[in-house]
Chains A and B, each alone.
Chain A
Amino acid sequence: MKKYVGKRLLSLIPTILIVSVVIFLLVHLTPGDPAAMMLGDDATLEDIAALHTKLGLDDPIVVQYVRWVGRCLRGDFGISTAVVGQPVADLIASHFQPTICLAIYSQLITILIAIPAGMYAAKKRGTAGDYTVSVFSIMGISLPSFLLGLGLIMLLAVKLRWLPAAGYKSLTADGFVPFIRYMTLPALSLGFIHAAYMMRMTKTAMLEVLGSDYIRMARSKGVREGSILFKHGFRNALLTVITVVGQGFISALAGAAVVERLFNIPGMGSLMVDSIEKRDYQVIQAITLLVAMLNVVINLIIDLIYGLADPRIRLAD
């Protein structure tokens, strides 16, 4: 077990190294100039060129890469150019909270919708209820999140005025109620789509378990249906659910750019998109590395949970 974890952590190094090279090259190959973005549209070419040199962007790309990696290893991720003077680490820290809150909230919604629905569909297989769940889930998967978000805004915010149309209130600074009011629509738009996916996975996993020999055995022994469904069925389907939650979490961490943009949430996704637009090299690089690392670590955790939950799966080999 320890050996396995160690090995997995070790394999993180080449992955991260590859990510760093890929993203550094991509970013520096992109046409555009951070200095021009720093000075605004009306800046003169002369002023821009001077700033360009000052930022060290005239150096050969290899020199820049080595300098960057060296600084990263010392824990210094550089200074943003789109938010001049702000250390990248601070910028990421301040954008992390909204994203993590959104990820958790939307995953909660996902779980609350998807697991009961998925279990119900598996239980009532072939009935109208099962079909309804199937249709809903497939429609959810087919819906781009921004369309769902737009629809929710039009209906719940503009027409009915139940919830604010956009914006973000911090859980720590503004309190729980404002936080929930602002976060609900984006979490719904994100959560519904994950829920659609999770419903399917839950149903599939449940069906598999319910069709297995030991459940048939339990049934023939007269174990109550409820107990079969929850104690035997769900527990075994849990693995799949954990996997889907883990994946949903990863994609909410970084893939929520569209939803964050739509709801004006100052999170990691919108920071990333802005940074690409404004050619904020340091921020793009640092976020990509961070997300990549989180991605690998969350996958490792999922695998470990897998191993603990189901000893049949051999981890070290």
Chain B
Amino acid sequence: MGRKLLALALMLCMLLTMCAAVSCAEEGYRDVINIADNDQGASYDLHKDTSVNVRNMLRGTVFEQLVTLKANGEIGPELCESYEVNETSTEFTFHLRQGVLFHNGKEMTSADVVASLNRWLECFSTARKMVGDATFVAVDDYTVTISLQNSAIMLLDMMAGAAQAAVIYPTESIEAVSADTGFIPVEYFIGTGPYKFTEWAVDQYVQLDRFDDYVPYGDPDAPIDGLWGYKHAYTRTLKYWIVKDAATRFNGLMTGEYDFAVKVTDDYLPALQADDSFVTYSQQTGMVSLVWNKRNTDKYLRLAFQAIANADDLNTVNYGSLYDTDPCYMEKDQSSWYTTAGSEYFCQNNVELAKELLAQSDWDASKPIRILVSTGGHAEDMLLILQQEVAELGLTLELNITDRSTLTQLRKDETVYEAYFTTFSSVAVPSLRSFLDASYAGWSEDEHLQELMLAMTTAPTREEAFARWEEIQAYCYSDYCPVLMMGHFHQAAACTAKLTGYNVFLTTNFWNAKLAE
């Protein structure tokens, strides 16, 4: 009881300081930040919707998780005070923070957490496979635990950073899941974050408004560390406009319509950089790759492509300056998984070597290599360059250019293609790199690879998991070549120089952002 009172008192203090802070902070700052986003989600239900825009907008802003990512890739407690993992990484216990309020005013307890996380397991087959039949159970009002048969140290990483974010909804939201679709309806987008989900005007905007009873954690004076830290909503409203056209986002930024624009293309950067009233920055956003259909190609053909590819030429025609030739399968931001193992094999631009490798291949050079690519990302241009490069080896590429929906359908059929082009956004842990999966389109069924993958996912410690990961990447580059890795694309964002306080990690987060008059 005493502890509860103490928590309550603490909370009150915090609220008071927050109110004080808010009232000063608002002086000279705008009430609304207009953000030009490039697409809308299908549902904004984070347990289900894996699209980047949805995750970037809502994770940490409207919804929070038990644990979240710090900048160095470590896991930080968010809605829990602390957590424990046993030595074999089979038992995870979370001690929840007390006094955390949902947007509907209800206090978060273990019932909400258990309901949410078990739905998350249900929605997310990869996590479900990792835990087997186990589920999350409540020990008491503020303690939640799960115990597994096998070691799964990466369960924590997935809870912190998976595309299908393990956010905590109140039980009411989980109960409101639609019977027709299995999604949570908009009215029940209730979280614990500093902003509330107020309105989704389809095809126009999503509006988030400050949640005045938000209970922050972390040190008020320290900057945000990754996605973790003290959040304080200075601005009353975040308005995410849905603006699909890059030119429109740019023009809107120039005319002051928007304060911030995502996905600014290379064409507009010079104009923005030349103008002091704007700030631009870019960051690694995902990997650029050609995924091989391993059932139709042999490794020497794949290695020959890797030997001849010129990563700079390929990327320049599509991304301009917004790319790098970093060989890691993970992003640089994710320092705990970052490795350059195998990098000596990365796009070598070496015709002689490619010829040697191709000579060992069974591939009949008179047959065209069929490649699927979808419109919309201008990736076709890259493949035209690749086509020109491999022509030197006497190989022909046959491009099948379709829309995105058609590509996702066609790539399930192993008989219609040798490779398809795609970009992969960042994933929480290497085991989520779908092209390493035996059942993912492209079928990495190689035994050695799968053994290594299993060794990594069931490793009891992070060190050991990382060692396996380095081995996997090295093996992929030197031998198996499941994808032709071409590098990482960057996404540039631009905003007015009056915008401050936002933090950049994986995406731009607006929790603490403020916009000067």
Is the beta-carbon distance between A261 and B255 smaller than 8 angstroms?
no
Is the beta-carbon distance between A38 and B180 smaller than 8 angstroms?
no
Cross-interface CB contact of A42 among B50, B243, B245, cutoff 8 Å: B50
**Which stretch in A12-20, A67-75, A84-92, A113-121 binds the other chain?**
A84-92
A32-B408, A33-B408, A44-B126 known; A38-B251 Cβ under 8 A = no
Question: A37-51 toward B: CB 8 Å interface, digit per residue (1/0)?
Answer: 111111111110001
- B406 within 8 Å of A (CB atoms): yes
Query: In the complex, how many angstroms separate the beta carbon of B148 from the nearest chain A beta carbon?
Result: 20
Q: Which of B185, B408, B425 has the most CB of A within 10 A?
A: B408
Question: B377-419 toward A: CB 8 Å interface, digit per residue (1/0)?
Answer: 0000000000000000000000000111110111010000000
Chain B residues 153 to 179 lying within 8 A of chain A, measured CB to CB, are 163-164, 178
Chain B residues with Cβ below 8 Å from A210 are: none
- B78 within 8 Å of A (CB atoms): no
Chain B residues with Cβ below 8 Å from A31 are: 402, 405-406, 409-410
> Interface residue count for B (Cβ, 8 Å)?
56
A36-B405, A51-B182, A83-B202 known; A264-B43 Cβ under 8 A = no
- B366 within 8 Å of A (CB atoms): no
Closest-by-CB residue of B relative to A150 is B247
Is the beta-carbon distance between A85 and B181 smaller than 8 angstroms?
yes
- B244 within 8 Å of A (CB atoms): yes
Query: In the complex, how many angstroms separate the beta carbon of A98 from the nearest chain B beta carbon?
Result: 9
Is the beta-carbon distance between A45 and B439 smaller than 8 angstroms?
yes
CA distance A91 to B201 in the complex (A): 10
Is the beta-carbon distance between B181 and A54 smaller than 8 angstroms?
yes
A32-B408, A84-B181, A85-B43 known; A94-B50 Cβ under 8 A = no
**Which stretch in A165-173, A215-223, A249-257, A301-309 binds the other chain?**
A165-173
Chain B residues with Cβ below 8 Å from A264 are: 241-245, 248
Q: Which of A31, A33, A84, A94 has the most CB of B within 10 A?
A: A84
Chain B residues with Cβ below 8 Å from A168 are: 204
Closest-by-CB residue of A relative to B53 is A40
CA distance A5 to B302 in the complex (A): 68
CA distance A165 to B250 in the complex (A): 9
CA distance A86 to B40 in the complex (A): 14
Chain A residues with Cβ below 8 Å from B131 are: none
8 A-B pairs with C-beta separation under 8 A: A40-B54, A41-B50, A41-B425, A79-B181, A85-B178, A94-B202, A150-B247, A277-B405
Q: Which 7 A-B pairs have the closest CB atoms?
A: A32-B405, A40-B50, A165-B251, A84-B43, A266-B203, A40-B51, A42-B50
B: residues with CB less than 8 A from A are: 40-43, 45, 48-52, 54, 123-126, 163-164, 178, 180-183, 185-186, 201-204, 241-245, 247-248, 251-252, 254-255, 257, 402-406, 408-410, 412, 425, 427, 432, 434, 439-441
